[in-house]
């Protein structure tokens, strides 16, 4: 009896109609494990520079899903950054990204599973460092405010989760290619124009609803 009940539940799970939601709105919280060369945007010695910490922050997705074919498309907005320090030298980044989203649901019933990709169409990125004591080699009270001339980004990943009535809970993992090109310091502490590679593995948890 128990085995028969389990078979019925599984059949219902995987054969339920996929026409559950035409639109999904999702709140995300994510981490990006990038490893940029912070020494390239610092005018002192490399030993001053702190260790890298992950970028983290909130975001939102708006995705339209074609239920029969399982194809979805929409937009993503996210805000990430990190704040790290070492011996009186502090780095802080802020990054906003608006991207197009394309996903495909291999399974789209009470659970969902499939690949997802995004392509960045708008970016606003900034990195600042400040010396708060006499410890760093450049001295106390020195700072830089760096902005890239251009930025490019795309992601490829996999998303999965469950749907509870109109609500959904899930996660997404993948790789993000994120490049900041020709950094310029408005305060003149860094006289070169280096590129920063902010790429890395990312992960997100997501909460939302479908209608």
pLDDT, one tens digit per residue, over 37-47 is 999 999 999 99
SS3 137: coil
Within-domain flag for 14: no
pLDDT of residue 20: 54
Per 3-state DSSP, the chain is made up of helix, strand and coil in percentages (nearest 5) of 10, 65, 25
Within-domain flag for 188: yes
Segment-wise mean pLDDT, segments of 10 residues, the chain, 211 residues: 41 42 93 96 94 95 90 97 94 98 94 97 98 89 96 98 94 98 96 96 97 87
Within-domain flag for 178: yes
pLDDT of residue 70: 87
Bridge partner residues of 151 (DSSP): 180
pTM: 0.86
Domain span at residue 127 reads 23-210
Within-domain flag for 161: yes
Domain count along the chain: 1
């Amino acid at each position: 009896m128990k085995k028969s009940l389990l078979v019925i539940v599984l059949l219902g799970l995987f054969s339920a109609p996929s026409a559950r939601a035409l639109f999904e709105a999702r709140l995300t919280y994510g981490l990006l494990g990038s490893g940029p060369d912070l020494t390239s945007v610092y005018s002192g010695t490399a030993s001053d520079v702190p260790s890298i910490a992950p970028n983290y922050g909130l975001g939102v997705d708006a995705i339209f899903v074609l239920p029969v074919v399982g194809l979805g498309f929409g937009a993503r907005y996210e805000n990430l950054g990190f704040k790290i320090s070492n011996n009186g030298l502090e780095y802080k980044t802020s990054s906003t990204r608006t991207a197009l989203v394309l996903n495909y649901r291999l399974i789209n019933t009470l659970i969902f599973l499939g690949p997802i990709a995004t392509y960045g169409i708008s970016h606003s990125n900034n990195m600042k460092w400040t010396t708060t004591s006499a410890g760093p080699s450049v001295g106390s009270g020195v700072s830089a405010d760096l902005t890239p001339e251009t930025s490019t980004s795309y992601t490829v990943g996999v998303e999965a989760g469950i749907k509870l009535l109109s609500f959904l809970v899930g996660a997404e993992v993948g790789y993000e290619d994120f490049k900041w090109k020709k950094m310029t310091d408005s305060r003149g502490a860094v006289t070169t124009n280096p590129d920063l590679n902010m790429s890395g593995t990312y992960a997100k948890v997501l909460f939302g609803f479908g209608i």
